[in-house]
Amino acid sequence: MTELNRLLESIHPVSVELRDAARRRIDHLTKPIGSLGKLESNAARLVQVFGTTDLRIRRRVIFTFAADHGVAEVAGVSLYPRSVTGQMVLNFLTGGAAVNVLARQAHAEVRVIDAGTLTPIGDPRLIQKRIGPGTRNFLNECAMTREEAVRCLEWGADVFFEEYRNAPIDMAGVGDMGIGNSTSAAAVLCALSGRPAQEVAGRGTGLDDKGLSRKVSVIDESLKQRRPNPADAVDVLAKVGGFEIGEMAGCFLGGASRRCAMLVDGFISTAAAALAIRLRPGVQDYLFFSHQSAEQGHARALQDLKATPILDLEMRLGEGTGAAVAMHVLDCAVAMYRDMATFESAGVDTAT
């Protein structure tokens, strides 16, 4: 059995019995049944994920994976040069990016991973999981080999495992950085869903109508040339994916295998989650979709996954920012579950 197969086999179904037990407790809290809405359903889901009715969150981590994309060589698919990926990695490491600021508010640690930036970054604070100096241009050839795709998944899981060994993680967000990665993410989601690029590709960092049209045509032509197999997530990743997208998918799988609540960030993170779900459908029980991105294809991707986002704040940055904000909502769900009085303990009459 390969390392990837062992990883997939280590993800177990969540308990329906624990969910029902959590709901019974929530229904006995001093409020009308269902009146706290999705806080209630998210608390019950967290009980399932953790495998215990003793619900608490001790450690939070946001993993931000960075890599470059060969498809960014194509004129018009991105407003920014690929040099920005490495520059933003340094910004993450010095604590100056949006994800750092929002993570601090959520009492979450940030870990930054080089999955394949164009130029190596020699900083000891950076987790080195480089597959290569960016993917190949999938308009002309496959983004990576199948072996590299498998390595992405395995190394992404290793990132989670290595951090988990330092101290157990209860809640983790998974974010991204990579110039051109919204093109790759859109191609992945098109390949998995069968949707045309016009329905999935968005403006990314701010493309105008001409740029968006170019991006759509590049994705459609790439899918026609590469012909990824939608039933084979590894094939999709190899043909049109990104190194950071593959490692993010692996991180979702690794976290689920350790019963961690895994927060999907935005559009790119959802593409990674979709790959993980195609590999092991049960992983979705461990995923919490932080928010609905303003990127036009995100709503359709969530619809295809039958996933309900926690928030809709018109965000579209990535990095793990949406996950950091959604952590506050899940903290509220835990506080409700743990700290509210029951009708019996408070001496409050129940409904007749």
pLDDT-based confidence at residue 1 (cuts at 50, 70, 90): low
What are 88-105's pLDDT values in tens digits? 999 999 999 999 999 999
pTM of the predicted model, to two decimals? 0.97
Q: What is the DSSP secondary structure assignment for residue 52, as one 8-state letter?
A: S
CATH number of the domain to which 40 belongs: 1.10.1610.10
Active site residue 163: no
CB-based contacts of 10, cutoff 8 Å, min separation 6: 257
Q: How confident is the model at residue 76 (pLDDT cuts 50, 70, 90)?
A: confident
Q: Which of 3, 154, 319, 344 is catalytic?
A: 319
Q: Are residues 33 and 167 in the same domain?
A: no
Residues 240 and 102 in one domain: yes
State the residue range of the domain holding 47: 3-56+336-346
352 assigned to some structural domain: no
Span 277-293, pLDDT tens digits: 999 999 999 999 999 99
Do 113 and 239 fall within a single domain?
yes
φ/ψ of 192, rounded to 5, equals -75, -35
* Residue 202 · residue 296 · CB < 8 Å: yes
Residue 351 covered by a domain: no
* 3-state SS class at 323: helix
160 lies in the same domain as 13:
no
One DSSP character per residue, 65-84 reads: EEE--GGGGSTTS-SS-THH
Same domain, 142 and 38: no
Q: Give residue 158's pLDDT band: very low, low, confident or very high (50, 70, 90).
A: very high
Q: How far apart are the C-alpha atoms of 295 and 209, rounded to whole Å? A: 14
User: Quick one: which H or E segment has residue 268?
Assistant: helix 267-279
